[in-house]
Structure 1
């Protein structure tokens, strides 16, 4: 008992020191600038350009906005436990990102209507929400207020409309006032150890940046202080603890005691990065970097996402097995956003590598119907099925949130740095930037990732001395890069090749990436294999010819250990992005080995995404050989 008391006292002292340090650091306020900043504009062509436009036309503009506003009206404020109030903000922030990518009057008009309609529901005390007065601050009420603030601030950033900013200010002021009247504690509100409620940290920090009102910074610091109390999620002190093992398994999976909730946890860490940008407190940045590494190493699967029944569960080691409610799209989107935040802050290649994998696989695989629909869950082996309606809103959380992921990438593909330009992603299109004081149009000519050939061309009004950094993906083992035909040597996978020179109008950078098929293996809980081509996960699909999808297949590797992929023409009648023939040796079930057969693989985003709900498989189980043990 004495040892226990000493341990508890030591923990309390450590907590006090941490909190004191956090407040002292905040008082110094050493703001941190991002390493990269987005392009002024981007216009994508080809496959991605089509997918983005379909999402605008068939999902964002197709939304009944008045239905999203209806729950907030005074006569409808009767809620006690559900989350209708998140849908407006999720949809609106999707629309705002889409508008930044492709400004147009039709979308702007819809956004104008959406903001005016929401602000019309704001009561004199500043509240925007749908909870009955006696149940405010409970369940998902603060979570919904967060999304309203994020939407209103996004609209202000686009339009500079002061009514929108003032609306967000009133929501924040009302929240702070109501919390003080209640008990001043945010981490005991709602479910998941207060993570849903305290993820309001992000818009509070954004509001501080736009108003410089110290009470919002004070509130942000108080939220983080409460995280580290016994009732809180301890997001900083447990940043090095596996995200699936931070707290004991709760009796009720969806409960206030549950500390493994993936989406809400990452939302809190997004807010912590915003607070780091304001204060410069290195403990905040380190916590997010540590947890990002932990999530990637223990949870994220081959397609770039994870979580089961919306919780972290140590899933990376179990990804080749059937998993219940796997890879929720809201988790995928938030993992992509958190990764993008770290890329923006640090400019490090590993974040771009990870974001690319998420985008082309887990994210794109979740959308169908030419952008109209989003799956709630996307297994690695199984079927893709539409998610169910939630809260009587005519859509679910993932349908509202999915486009936030799609439009998170375009303006980050080619970015500004203090030294010039950084090329993070590759897609056919043009990007306008202001680098080192010069207006630059950066054009990419490519069918990537179908092809590994990318030509980058600079258009400049006058020569400019600057650095152009080009990402060399970690998976590209054999890469060639040249400027105007002159080879760049000593390329390192997983880094940026930094080319500093006096750039002229019309200069061209040629990049050739290694698109050979790579075999990915897992031995937990049993031996299974998968095939990747560049950043693309490939899959079997029951729509294609024999052998049957349940067949045991052993891959045929070339002398260098790669998989030979032969592109084939799509004759299915369905919209399939990539299609390849691959040689496998099937299990013969006799004493003699069978000859190799040609098996069709498609990209994971297309697998099971046809006119019928076909079964598909990423992970192919391999034979067990007891004699080899």
Structure 2
């Protein structure tokens, strides 16, 4: 054991759990249990089902797994700086989520082949990677090992095949041994104040959960201790500091001293939540929630993502301005994953509200209509452009990462909790869940959400039973109608869950009508801009549609409360567009009486610029500066 770990292990820290015999490899019972757990089975139809099917068939199943595995072959171990070894794990964990969503023999064979192929490249010392022997632990080497472990553990979660668990353990043991042979310090390895390397915390915690081997817990605790050293990212002590201002701007944007790297930072916090579940240390949870809140308030834009050239930069106040390399898909996915982690842990509506906004706008806005490709960056005003290939792997990090968010979200639509069941999201489909008396019940949602705010939910179950249904009332819905079997439920609070407690029986119907009125939001001080939102959906202008040019100054015509009338328009473009509306705007005019209202077409942000032909789009519409009215 290296000196750093030995020193930490000898400190008299009392942990409120019992460690099982490591040889028994018994699963650890966490000190903190999640409020929510997955439903038994889901089956979607409609809009989301189409998106998932397209990406499954045209991206996940279309991937040549052997090409990803080829990077790990012993003869390829010459790398000194690149990240080829992340691609297998990102793609594979996406494939596992897709399998959990829709199990199939075809996909299972793909998973089996990919794991067998990866494990065949594992060295006798346990190493899986492509770095040259004298460059191990440098740059992205540990990051790649992390994704290998996450993939192997994901496979174990659905198959219980011990070879994948053993393989992950050997990768972890080899990493710990490599660190021991050097100085034992992980936060000085690679870039971004050690955040990329130290994000290995997540699979290390998951390994401890599966094996109860205390060496993994000790390693996890040591990683977190090192975070707080001068060289580290100080993710706990700086939890109340704006994420875009935690460290001075480095001379080299992509450098070891850069402490604002968005994706890697959130990955570390995901691992910290896993460690919180194991130990019950409230400091860990508070640090994650404080940082999540800060990211939401200072970085996350109207579409649910953020970061410029992959770094936090306190960007929310200037989201209406042109921003370089805005909202990378990897950042979008990790923000969605972190929000989903907190939803699962706490059951609180604010995390579901944010995840929904991110999913329908920033994430789906990055996905091509056929599900085959992902845009690396997605501006709020501009064009959707494909990213370039990375590391000679035939794809880039975002194309590998996007499906991880795409297939995670549906799995949390309906979830179980100790009091009954919780409905987090709305989508056409059926959801099976286990009741308090272990019955398997079905909740069927009938809806075209988010086109419509009307959702009907019908219960089907063997015997009548008393339990509670928690139903999310989105923050955006100011006027909500809720009824059970026609009986109105009053005092529904937006931004929370309506709790319905009763004896449920087959045929019981919940009717929910959400407020989907379009409303105008404004941002900017010196240079003001306006945008339009309908429910969770951001709307945009698109150069495909007839009317005034996007460069024309337009003011949305809204009432005193900010609501704007939206008239649905038939789609005649030949492109797959979720929503299409006509709205009235006041154009800039040079006459004393002003100009008559102009009718413009708006579509949902995810569809904007996402047609067969390239087009420009605009979410934030610049507003006239009127010094006379200041």
Shorter-normalised TM range: over 0.9
| Structure 1 residues 41 and 620, CA gap change in structure 2 (3 angstroms) | same
2:584 alignment counterpart: 583
Local SS of the residue matching 1:265: helix
Structure 2 distance, partners of 1:313, 1:22, is 39
2:23 alignment counterpart: none
1:24 alignment counterpart: 14
Local SS of the residue matching 1:577: coil
2:187 alignment counterpart: 187
2:76 alignment counterpart: 76
Confirm or deny: 8 A CA contact 1:438 1:464 kept in the other structure: no
| Structure 1 residues 470 and 369, CA gap change in structure 2 (3 angstroms) | closer
- Give per-residue Cα distances to partners, 1:469-492, cap 9 Å, x unaligned: 100000000000000000001011
Shift of 1:611: 1.1
Local SS of the residue matching 2:244: coil
Structure 2 distance, partners of 1:522, 1:19, is 51
Q: How does 1:15-414 map to 2 (within 5 A)?
A: 23-25=13-15, 31-414=31-414
1:9 alignment counterpart: none
Structure 1 distance, partners of 2:208, 2:190, is 24
Structure 2 distance, partners of 1:299, 1:326, is 11
2:557 is aligned with 1:556? yes
Shift of 1:369: 4.3
Q: How does 1:428-447 map to 2 (within 5 A)?
A: 428-436=428-436, 437-447=438-448
- Give per-residue Cα distances to partners, 1:316-336, cap 9 Å, x unaligned: 011000000000000000000
- Give per-residue Cα distances to partners, 1:449-499, cap 9 Å, x unaligned: 000000011111001100001000000000000000000010111000000
2:27 alignment counterpart: none
- Give per-residue Cα distances to partners, 1:53-97, cap 9 Å, x unaligned: 111100000001110001100011110000000000000000000
2:568 is aligned with 1:567? yes
| Structure 1 residues 242 and 559, CA gap change in structure 2 (3 angstroms) | closer
Q: How does 1:376-525 map to 2 (within 5 A)?
A: 376-436=376-436, 437-525=438-526
Structure 2 distance, partners of 1:478, 1:464, is 31
Confirm or deny: 8 A CA contact 2:575 2:612 kept in the other structure: yes
Confirm or deny: 8 A CA contact 1:554 1:585 kept in the other structure: yes
| Structure 1 residues 22 and 286, CA gap change in structure 2 (3 angstroms) | farther
Structure 2 distance, partners of 1:608, 1:76, is 40
1:7 alignment counterpart: none
Confirm or deny: 8 A CA contact 2:369 2:611 kept in the other structure: no
Structure 2 distance, partners of 1:226, 1:28, is 25
Structure 2 distance, partners of 1:294, 1:503, is 40
Structure 2 distance, partners of 1:313, 1:24, is 38
Shift of 1:573: 1.4
Structure 2 distance, partners of 1:287, 1:559, is 40
Local SS of the residue matching 1:514: coil
Shift of 1:590: 2.7
Structure 1 distance, partners of 2:310, 2:173, is 31
| Structure 1 residues 20 and 565, CA gap change in structure 2 (3 angstroms) | farther
Shift of 1:24: 2.9
2:623 alignment counterpart: 622
Confirm or deny: 8 A CA contact 1:318 1:525 kept in the other structure: no
Structure 2 distance, partners of 1:462, 1:590, is 71
Shift of 1:525: 5.0
Structure 2 distance, partners of 1:561, 1:329, is 31
2:525 is aligned with 1:535? no
1:11 alignment counterpart: none
Confirm or deny: 8 A CA contact 1:205 1:271 kept in the other structure: yes
| Structure 1 residues 569 and 96, CA gap change in structure 2 (3 angstroms) | same
Structure 2 distance, partners of 1:114, 1:362, is 30
Structure 2 distance, partners of 1:20, 1:602, is 61
1:12 alignment counterpart: none
Confirm or deny: 8 A CA contact 2:540 2:604 kept in the other structure: yes
Shift of 1:524: 3.9
Confirm or deny: 8 A CA contact 2:547 2:599 kept in the other structure: no
Local SS of the residue matching 1:530: strand
Structure 1 distance, partners of 2:343, 2:518, is 27
Structure 2 distance, partners of 1:590, 1:356, is 44
Local SS of the residue matching 2:85: helix
Confirm or deny: 8 A CA contact 1:318 1:524 kept in the other structure: no
- Give per-residue Cα distances to partners, 1:254-310, cap 9 Å, x unaligned: 000000000000000000000000000000000000000000000000000000000
Shift of 1:558: 3.1
Structure 1 distance, partners of 2:441, 2:462, is 8
Aligned length: 612
| Structure 1 residues 283 and 556, CA gap change in structure 2 (3 angstroms) | same
Structure 1 distance, partners of 2:319, 2:624, is 18
Confirm or deny: 8 A CA contact 1:552 1:622 kept in the other structure: yes
Confirm or deny: 8 A CA contact 1:443 1:458 kept in the other structure: yes
Unmatched segments (≥5 aa) in structure 1: 1-17
Confirm or deny: 8 A CA contact 1:417 1:435 kept in the other structure: no
Structure 1 distance, partners of 2:79, 2:523, is 46
Local SS of the residue matching 1:244: helix
Structure 1 distance, partners of 2:312, 2:16, is 31
Shift of 1:523: 2.1
| Structure 1 residues 356 and 420, CA gap change in structure 2 (3 angstroms) | same
161-170 vs 589-598, which moves further: 589-598
Unmatched segments (≥5 aa) in structure 2: 1-7, 20-29
